[in-house]
Amino acid sequence: MSRGTGRQQAVRRMPAHLPGVSALLHAVRCAAEKHRDQRRKGATASPYINHPIAVAEQLAAAGFGDDTELLMAAVLHDVLEDTDTSEAELAADFGPRVAGIVREVSDDKSLPRRERRALVVRHIAQCSRSARLVKLSDLIANVHDVIHQPPHWNDEQKQDYLDWGEAVVRELRGTHPGLEQRFAALLAEARAGVKAGKQQRAKDAD
Ligand code: ZN
């Protein structure tokens, strides 16, 4: 658990005695509240909050269980992009480091998707290691979902996403070899799934 004055200041709007697990649970509750009306794209339409929780859980399992602020940022990583939350609000509630990581991993939604995705590829290598870790865990969770709870995407959309994810992970290589291997394994599985689906449809059409 991270301790020290930096963390005490970082959570200034929370009661000062809220370290570690309590601070993380506070972030989970806030993120759940922010995403309360959203669902994941996909057949099961699971509550959106399951996704940021999975991103944080994966980082904890990869050895970052003691970095509470990183896990808080993971839990909150989509609130700037997908809800009406501002960076100032995040900074006030969770401190500058958490707000900074979330900003780094957030796209400018005013840009078209293709441009947004290209910007991530171009900028990810300059991001902080914490931001790269959150982005990597986010991509792993999303590719996992492409395989296990496929969004309503056609093959081309899936392929585009997988190509883009691969390009981003190439740019952040060396951030965390274990997570990068996990991404590579899931990517191969997802690509094989798309290919098998295509072949099956071609057969069915015969
Ligand atoms: Zn995400």
Q: How far is the CA of 78 from the centre of ligand 1 (A)?
A: 6
Domain interval for residue 93: 5-205
- Does the structure show a pLDDT above 60 at 196? yes
Rg, Å, the chain Cα set: 18
Q: What is the mean pLDDT of residues 7-18?
A: 48
Residues with Cβ within 8 Å of 86's Cβ and at least 6 positions away in sequence, in order, are 80
How high is the pLDDT of residue 204? 86
- Does the structure show a pLDDT above 50 at 20? yes
How high is the pLDDT of residue 43? 73
Residue type at 14?
A: M
Q: What is the mean pLDDT of residues 106-131?
A: 95
Alpha-carbon dihedral sign for residues 184, 182, 76, 172: negative
Q: How far is the CA of 195 from the centre of ligand 1 (A)?
A: 25
CATH number for the domain that contains residue 148: 1.10.3210.10
Is the pLDDT higher at 43 or at 188?
188
Q: How far is the CA of 201 from the centre of ligand 1 (A)?
A: 30
The structural domain count of the chain equals: 1
**How confident is the model over 61-81, as pLDDT tens digits?**
999 999 999 999 999 999 999
Return the residue matching tokens 């071609």.
Answer: 202
> Is the distance from CB of 19 to CB of 66 less than 8 angstroms?
no
Angle at 71 (CA atoms; ends 68, 73), nearest 5 degrees: 110
DSSP-derived secondary structure letter, 37: T
Q: Which long-range contacts (CB under 8 A, 24 or more apart) does 107-114 make?
A: 107/81, 109/81
How high is the pLDDT of residue 197? 85
Average confidence score pLDDT of the chain: 89
Catalytic residue positions?
A: 81-82
Q: How far is the CA of 29 from the centre of ligand 1 (A)?
A: 17
Q: How far is the CA of 39 from the centre of ligand 1 (A)?
A: 12
**How confident is the model over 160-174, as pLDDT tens digits?**
999 999 999 999 999
How high is the pLDDT of residue 153? 85
Angle at 34 (CA atoms; ends 110, 41), nearest 5 degrees: 65
C-alpha–C-alpha distance, residues 10 and 19, integer Å = 10
